[in-house]
Amino acid sequence: MRKWFLSILMLALVVLAACGSSEDTETGSESQDENQEESTDVEALAEQLTLNSEVETDNQEASIRFSLTNEGEEAVELGFASGQQFDVHIADENGENVYTYSANRSFTQEQSTKELDADAVMENAVQWDENVEPGEYEATVTFLIDTINGEDVGDREFESTSMFTIEEAEETSSDEGTEGSTTDDAGDDSSSNEGDSDEGPSSENSSEGEETTSIDGNDAFRNLELSGENGNYTISGEARVFEGSFLYRVEDGHNELIGETPVQVDSGAPSWSEFSLDISIPESDLPDFGTLTLMLYENSAKDGEPTNVNYVPLEQFNGE
């Protein structure tokens, strides 16, 4: 009788163990299926994002235009690890990097998101016009997408490359300009002195006034000059924007200190128009740490979204 009881007990234990193992297997299988489903969803959404880029050259400069299009039927929310949404690298024919858009630029360090509706386009442009030498180049545009609809995209990269050539400058026009300048200088000293006199005040003001910093531009803003400190800044330059209208705002990486503000210049694109902005922020609102950043941009004529965004670091605060 005792043996019979022990046999039944052992059989029951075996059955219970088998059931537990089956439940664990089912739970693990369900979890794995959910992860695979999420991964598949992200991959499918990523496949619906189309990135295009092209480069236009004019003498010794290049304009890199690029866009990201949502080809899907529903809107997607793109997540970025910081305020920087894209980067552009240019390499020469030897593979050496000669230009990086994000170099010497400041971005908010908070995560940011961008909702891209179905068939909507996210577009921008970058201007490369400094230290440009003749030769063959490759421009690589990367949208720094971290998540799609809150799901991590993993190692997937959203980038596009374009090849372009910077031609040799025509020496004839340069030589003629040099000869004309030499003739004018030698033939009329008084004319030369008058020219120096005209330029004198500008140079004098620059040396006696606040230090001025040159800021890199893009396809919509160029010749940017910044001066000022401790909440009072002046930035001037030229804008080539649709209907002569652009906007700006100021943030410190955590807070928006100046909300979206419209600016109207004399002429719309393709003409360049001069502008000057006086930025004033109360000292009590200035951050203890971080970078105060001015954002210059225009709204896209297609979807009203910000485009040609130019980040201008106004001042770095280190808590001193």
Both 40 and 128 in a single domain? no
Both 123 and 36 in a single domain? no
CATH code for the domain in which residue 80 is found: 2.60.40.2360
Asked, for residue 228, whether it belongs to a domain, the answer is yes
Dihedrals φ, ψ of 167, to 5°?
A: -80, 160
Asked, for residue 216, whether it belongs to a domain, the answer is yes
Asked, for residue 172, whether it belongs to a domain, the answer is no
Task: Give the Å distances, CA to CA, from 147 to 7, 66, 118, 160, 318.
Answer: 57, 20, 17, 19, 31
Token representation of residue 37? 């489903």
The answer to whether residue 253 scores a pLDDT higher than 80 is: no
pTM of the predicted structure, to 2 decimals: 0.49
Both 62 and 160 in a single domain? yes
291 Cβ neighbours under 8 A, 6+ residues apart: 106, 252, 253, 313, 314, 315, 316, 317
Asked, for residue 184, whether it belongs to a domain, the answer is no
Both 39 and 54 in a single domain? no
- Please report which confidence band the pLDDT of residue 287 belongs to, taking 50, 70 and 90 as the band edges: confident
Sheet strand arrangement including 273-280: 212-215, 221-229, 232-239, 273-280
Both 40 and 65 in a single domain? no
Both 78 and 119 in a single domain? yes
Average pLDDT over residues 203-219: 62
Total structural domains in the chain? 3
pLDDT tens readout for residues 174-207: 444 444 444 444 344 434 344 343 333 333 344 4
Both 53 and 161 in a single domain? yes
Work out the mean pLDDT of the chain and round it to a whole number: 79
Q: What residues make up the domain containing 13?
A: 1-47
Asked, for residue 189, whether it belongs to a domain, the answer is no
Both 221 and 155 in a single domain? no
Burial of 114 per CB tally in 10 Å (0-12, 13-18, 19+): middle
The answer to whether residue 126 scores a pLDDT higher than 50 is: yes
